[in-house]
Amino acid sequence: MENKRRDFIKKAALGASSLSIGGVLPGFSAKSYGNIIGSNERLKAACMGVNSRGLAVGTNFAVQSNCDVIYSCDVDQRASAKFIGAIDKIQNKKPKHVTDFRKALDDKDVDILVVTAPDHWHAPAAIMACKAGKHVYLEKPASHNPKEGELAVAASIKYDKVVQMGNQRRSWPNVVAGIKEVKDGSIGRPYFAKTWYTNNRPSIGKGKLTEVPSWLDYELWQGPAPREAFRDNLIHYNWHWFWNWGTGEALNNGTHFVDLARWGLGVEFPTKVSSSGGRYRYDDDWETPDTQIINLEFDNNTLMTWEGRSCNGRSVEGSTVGVIFYGETGSLVIESGNSYKVYDLDNNLVKAVDDNRKISADSLSNPSQLLDIIHIQNLFDAIRKGTPLNSDIEGGHQSTLLVQLGNIALRSGQNLRIDPKNGHILDSKEAMKYWSRDYAPGWEKFLQ
């Protein structure tokens, strides 16, 4: 068991340390990456939502030498069985299956709840975990709606629990270095950040109402969301495109690079938000936009945009995802991987920092496993040593809110005025209808 884990971590540690030897960042030394191997004190994790992305994240926790995955929590019996088998191969010990993650929260041995369930579960599960005395790894986005994001931040503070959002690029060494270059003035004052995501997603068709499969607890899957009948094109993954459970491409993938844009521009909440878009490519059940532009203006005289194209994969700057900062003396591009490029105003490449590890930005489940170890270990250090998180729930909420406001502007058909002190919408009852949501009867109490 330990040899498997150590071999995996050593490969990641060596790759990361080789970057720092080249002088990427003062804080990233070969010795510090060697410490990723960890101590014998194991944190115990329960994983909630273990299909696809949950399987990838959960196995990444399991290979850490200072963590044991002891629960598989999923409403899909098939997904849980597959997850248990994968974890057993790593740890030589099977995690316990529970359909309802709340049973794992009752176990005093659990230190961390890993939340990779659908978006409508993110904030409620994180809040319940904090109340139960558990720390949380929370896959992006931080919440289904802005109110839940605020409640998740409040729960982390009230119960004094570490809540880390899965914006893993906040921990990637060369991405950190690229943002530092922006902040240090390598392109002059940055005033515009453009972010994007492109893909060639197929139609999801028009689902048929059908009986719930025997392997699925659909009632618990819906959890806090208002009830809708089961249809055959919803589970798994297509829930992303239904407002009742998902948040669309803006939060599914936009969150990552809007977060980097917010970081680089040094902003928190906007002053103005507008958005245009729709479901243009196919005539099917997909409700959220497949094509969308979000514009965000800030009070430090900067602008940010997100362009999402779910059904046309033509790249931008040669990459399917990314952010480019435009400044007074040049531009800096961070694409899908752990790398960046700096250009002058004449489009001459003046600096390129690369990483030879392959990042599969189009992977739905596990595009960057080796690099993400750094993020996981940052969580462990925050729990054990009080080390600041690279992506805490407060910052995660702020970045999630930016794209949530974009969706609200689109759905309400309004250009929004925003209070830059807290991100709240000003003077629009229509837009505020989307600030929170309705819940299935009885579920509101879990958020209080």
Place of tokens 């925050």: 382
What confidence score (pLDDT) does residue 13 get?
42
Give the domain ranges of the chain: 2-169, 173-205+231-361+393-447
Nearest in space to 362 (alpha carbons), one of 319, 306, 409, 305: 319
What confidence score (pLDDT) does residue 8 get?
47
What confidence score (pLDDT) does residue 53 get?
93
pLDDT digits (tens, 9 = 90+) for 24-56: 333 433 333 333 433 358 999 999 999 999 999
What confidence score (pLDDT) does residue 445 get?
86
pLDDT digits (tens, 9 = 90+) for 388-409: 999 999 999 999 999 999 999 9
pLDDT digits (tens, 9 = 90+) for 145-203: 999 999 999 999 999 999 999 999 999 999 999 999 999 999 999 999 999 999 999 99
What confidence score (pLDDT) does residue 6 get?
52
Question: What gap in Å lies between CA 91 and CA 58, rounded to an integer?
Answer: 12
Q: Is the peptide bond before 240 cis (omega within 30 degrees of 0)?
A: no
What confidence score (pLDDT) does residue 269 get?
98
Is 86 within 8 Å of 60 (Cβ atoms)?
no
**E-strand stretches of 82-202:** 96-98, 112-115, 135-138, 163-165, 190-198
Q: Is the dihedral of CA 94, 384, 158, 141 positive or negative?
A: negative
What confidence score (pLDDT) does residue 400 get?
98
pTM for this model (two decimals) = 0.90
Strand 135-138's sheet: what is its strand order?
A: 96-98, 67-73, 43-48, 112-115, 135-138, 163-165
Half-sphere exposure of 242 (CA within 13 A, CB side): 25
Question: What gap in Å lies between CA 298 and CA 264, rounded to an integer?
Answer: 13
For the domain made up of 2-169, give the CATH fold.
Answer: Rossmann fold (3.40.50)
Question: What gap in Å lies between CA 343 and CA 348, rounded to an integer?
Answer: 5
Tokens of 355: 């990483």
**173-205+231-361+393-447 CATH:** 3.30.360.10
Helix, coil or strand: residue 207: coil
- Chain centroid to Cα 231, Å, comes to 27
What confidence score (pLDDT) does residue 355 get?
85
What confidence score (pLDDT) does residue 98 get?
98
Tokens of 77: 């019996």
What confidence score (pLDDT) does residue 41 get?
80
Tokens of 334: 């961070």
Query: For the chain, which ranges sit under pLDDT 70?
Result: 1-40, 356-367
